[in-house]
Chain A
Amino acid sequence: MTKTGFVGASKSVLVVGGGHNGLVCASYLARAGYRVDILEARSAMGGGAASSDFAEGYRVSGLAHILHSLSPQVRSDLQLDAAGLETGDSIDTIALDKAGQHITLGIDTLAGGDLSADDIEAYGRFKREFIGYAKALEPLMMNKPPRLKDMDRRDKLTLAKLGWQLRFGLGKDSMREFLRIGGINIYDVLNEVFDSPLLKGAIALDAVMGQHMGPRTPNTVLTYLHRLWGETHSRPSLPSGGMGSIAKALERAAANAGVSMRTAAKVQRILVVDGAAVGVELESGEQLHADIVISNADAKTTFLKLVDSSEFDAMFVHRVNSIRANGDVAKVHLALDGLPKIVGLSVEQLSQRLIIAPNMRYVEHAFNHSKYAEFSENPLLEITIPSIADSSLAPPGHHVMSISASFAPYALKLGWETQRDAFMQRVIAVIEQYAPGFGAQIIAREILTPVDIETQYHLSGGHWHHGEMAIDQLFMLRPVYGAAQYDTPIEGLYLCGAAAHPGGGLTGLPGRNAAQRVMRATEWRP
């Protein structure tokens, strides 16, 4: 990729944080000839994608547990397959029903339960339509967000492509429909299209999980589309070895590209001299210098903790300080002495993605608690049992269950210290309703509340996506105006994490786009 007049080869880069986006960004830059070092605070690379033991002999993916959106572009650019990427078996989603009338949701097929023919037909239409919308947004996903004022040539190109996709990719009727629903809530849309409460609850879960939103919250169509983007190119899957294997593949790809990586190297602050980043200082006091510093940390950590906030203008700091980034999902890990016996579910089906969101009212009520800083009495659950496909995760005959549970607000009224077990009990009690006797099967348990996620993964607010994926925090407003094109007010300091466009999820795109931005900014023509 090195070309004449390109000075990348002489530039040194420090990437703060070895999560998946940091690895992707570093790999792109190293392949272009930059000298890249990644500094990771934890003992392993991979951030939220890493795997960990939560009890002796029981292993799960730390935060993310389903692969559903890795960009094929990143996958081929970085030759991830050669680095040992195995996406694992693709899975469907099964929405659980207490009476055993479960529904299986495929990409555009529905099965099971007592679904009407209308719903089955509508589902196919709905998914094709929505995947079309998600595809139409692709030009935005794959480029830096265009500035609306002082556009450069690339911004105009991005907008032109987006316009073309909307008008001619979707066609006139679809575009009109997209513009109608783009900003509204998923609740209204689903009521227009479907009858089955269980089906609607299942789709609503996808729109709100990971956000501080209920189905009736405006903007939840957009969050659903973001979630759906992965399905434009691949099926969700459970990687064998857990998500940690994806992290390992990214790490190998980075090593192959010549990136050097340090773990247990927590960056204390980013060194700024005369408004330009010149390096970092580690917790140990060691100082490292580089031409470019790229932060994979979230915006609040980067701009309020790593850099002295007085290096920025006041309103910029205020904007960063006001980012809504309080997590609403807890991760629950359970070690089981055998497979749970969910009424009406086969062993084969247990290996799929199981969700508990019986109807939209249930989802909205679960969210209501969060609004008042309480955890949900009846939480939404996304359950996987990765040990079915990968028996190495648990001792023989035993299993691990990995659950994302919402809503578990970061700023809990009563504080998480005293409430963590109470919430875990609620999660188990909800599963018990579907699998009688479930509680007795549990050998070991662990809960990661948003506060735990914040401290263990260095994520402000413990938010999966480094900030709500709301329309006022997306695209050219992500993370905030003034730092939305990966570069920041500090010269030589860039963002490459989920805090930046296009946001959270294991896409690798923020890392890729940031790398491209760095390359363009340091391009040199004699």
Chain B
Amino acid sequence: MSKPPPNADLTPLPDYRQVLQPSPFHTRLVEHCPLQNWMSWNGYQTPRVCDVLASEYFAIRSTCSVMDLTPMEKYRIAGPDALKFLNRLVTRDVGDLKAGRVTYVVWCNDEGKVLDDGTLFHLRAGEYRLCAQHHQLDWLLLSSIGMDVSIQAETHQVAALSVQGPTSYALLTAAGVVGLDQLKPFGILHTRLRVFDLMISRTGFTGDLGYELWVEPAAALSLWDALFAPAQQGLFDVRVIGLSALEMARIEAGFIVPGDDFNTAETTVRADHDRSPFELGLDWLVNFDKPHFTGKRALLRERARPVMRRLVKLRVSGNKPPMDSFLYDAEHGRRIGTVKSQSWSPILKSNVCLADVGYSNGLVPSQIWAEIYYQKELEWRATWAECFMSEKPFWAHPRRLKTPPRNF
């Protein structure tokens, strides 16, 4: 039952005066970040905005964006019980996830409340990588009691770039990547570029065509240079982006961020301040027909009750940002929720947001209005804006699914 501790990180600790850790791409990254607008992402020095936010956003939507993905929490899961462990961990059935495929998963605590979400990569037969928003090692180890499975935190051992946008396929092909034409969405390609091994997955957080590139940290700069070589010949508009541009794109795509759009179960103190997959609108991720998973009994009980609240996608009328707005049911005049993440969507010419909305007795509120506070030359004003619920993501371009992708 006892298992060796996860591999200790043997890389030397950064200088104590260096508050944020530079990623393996850092020396190249800084060349693209004249704003020096840094923030911490899992302790890594990460750009909030590199240059011009609007240009970065439109690189995602119209050309090609590159983002440093290294800080994302990554865990390597292998061993005889790896699949059994994963299927017990997450709510969806990953038993049929073939080697070379990726899927989106959430996992819950015993009470059926979501701890975190992420993507699960079946790298090679029996070998998995789980990417998570927050640190999950404790929970993964705790979930492995009684199972023959090895769990290693590998955040610092894998360098990753996210290449997203309509021309991402064309750029990678021009950079010399072979075999990308047959890579389907959520597929994994193991290949070589120049002198290093490269893993490419057709995944992303933007609701558009895009890829994620995974290499050893030692190969990070070579990968970066290979990627930017075509651009230096003036063939492509490739922009390095920060987290602010990604935030806009992910809200448009309707992707949620644990900790922003809902309080994760682990950090929740007050009763009912955590959220179940049902309450997050992730019903499609819960499979009761597979072997037991953590939270199953609680979720079965919850399913039998009427829906009490839901994280919904709202299109907000007007041009005022519904930041932290209260939401009202106009029919009954009741306050029913709050806006969690919101953004102006330049491509849709609309305000869009993710909002936590109460359903009284399981009934979907018919008329939702947001109470918006905004400033005009340092003077606060208030206004109301009607909201329209959207079942589908605000942005999900069909080109993201096409194989082979268009060579723009």
Contact = CB atoms under 8 A, between A and B. Distances in A.
Interface of A: 275, 304, 308-318, 321, 482, 489
B297 A310 contact: no
Nearest to B144: A314
Contacts of A304: 1, 145-146
A313 B295 contact: yes
Contacts of A309: 145-147
B388 to A, nearest CB: 39
Contacts of B89: 314
18 contacts: A275-B292, A275-B296, A304-B146, A309-B147, A310-B85, A310-B88, A310-B146, A310-B147, A312-B292, A313-B109, A313-B110, A313-B297, A314-B139, A315-B142, A316-B110, A317-B143, A318-B142, A321-B145
Contacts of A315: 109-110, 142, 294
A50 to B, nearest CB: 29
A316 B146 CA distance: 12
A313 B294 contact: yes
Contacts of A310: 84-85, 88, 146-147, 291-292
A311 B295 CA distance: 11
Interface of A is mostly: helix
Interface in B255-311: 291-292, 294-297
Nearest to A315: B110
A154 B95 CA distance: 43
Nearest to B88: A310
Contacts of B145: 304, 309, 314, 317-318, 321
Contacts of A314: 88-89, 109-110, 139, 142-143, 145, 294
A487 to B, nearest CB: 12
A297 to B, nearest CB: 16
B288 to A, nearest CB: 10
B292 A482 contact: no
A482 B110 CA distance: 10
A394 B175 CA distance: 91
A313 to B, nearest CB: 4
Contacts of B143: 314, 317
B139 to A, nearest CB: 7
B166 to A, nearest CB: 42
A123 B109 CA distance: 51
Shortest Cβ-Cβ A-B pairs, 6 listed:
A309-B146, A313-B110, A314-B143, A313-B294, A314-B294, A315-B110
Interface in B71-118: 84-85, 88-89, 109-110
A508 B195 CA distance: 72
Contact of A311 (B1, B142, B147, B292): B292
Contacts of A275: 292, 296-297
Nearest to A305: B146
A489 B294 CA distance: 12
Nearest to A482: B110
B146 A317 contact: yes
Interface in B1-25: 1
A311 B297 CA distance: 11
Given A275-B292, A309-B145, A321-B146, 12 more contacts: A304-B1, A304-B145, A309-B147, A310-B88, A311-B292, A313-B295, A313-B297, A314-B109, A314-B110, A314-B143, A315-B294, A316-B110
Contacts of A308: 146
A291 B296 CA distance: 22
A32 to B, nearest CB: 28
B305 to A, nearest CB: 14
A311 B87 CA distance: 11
Interface string B360-377: 000000000000000000
A486 B371 CA distance: 51
A489 B297 contact: yes
B110 to A, nearest CB: 4
Interface string B109-152: 11000000000000000000000000000010011011100000
A313 B88 CA distance: 8
Contacts of A313: 109-110, 294-297
A29 to B, nearest CB: 26
Interface string B391-408: 000000000000000000
A304 B146 CA distance: 7
Contacts of A317: 142-143, 145-146
Contacts of B1: 304, 321
A275 B297 CA distance: 9
Nearest to A149: B271
A317 B293 CA distance: 12
B184 to A, nearest CB: 31
Which one of A310, A314, A482 has the greatest number of beta carbons of chain B within 10 Å? A314
Contacts of B85: 310
Nearest to B139: A314
A93 to B, nearest CB: 40
A483 to B, nearest CB: 12
Nearest to A489: B297
Contacts of B291: 310
A282 B278 CA distance: 41
B136 to A, nearest CB: 12
A520 to B, nearest CB: 20
A44 B110 CA distance: 39
A482 B295 CA distance: 13
Contacts of B292: 275, 310-312
Nearest to A320: B145
A306 to B, nearest CB: 12
Contacts of A321: 1, 145-146
Contacts of B297: 275, 313, 489
A503 to B, nearest CB: 24
A313 B115 CA distance: 13
A453 B84 CA distance: 33
Contacts of A482: 110
Nearest to B110: A313
Which one of B1, B110, B139 has the greatest number of beta carbons of chain A within 10 Å? B110
A355 B142 CA distance: 43
A407 B136 CA distance: 39
A276 to B, nearest CB: 11
Nearest to A272: B292
B303 to A, nearest CB: 15
Nearest to A304: B146
Nearest to B84: A310
A304 B292 CA distance: 15
A316 B294 CA distance: 9
B294 to A, nearest CB: 4
Contacts of B110: 313-316, 482
A318 B145 CA distance: 7
Contacts of A312: 292
B84 to A, nearest CB: 6
B293 to A, nearest CB: 8
Nearest to A309: B146
Contacts of A318: 142, 145
Which one of B88, B89, B296 has the greatest number of beta carbons of chain A within 10 Å? B88
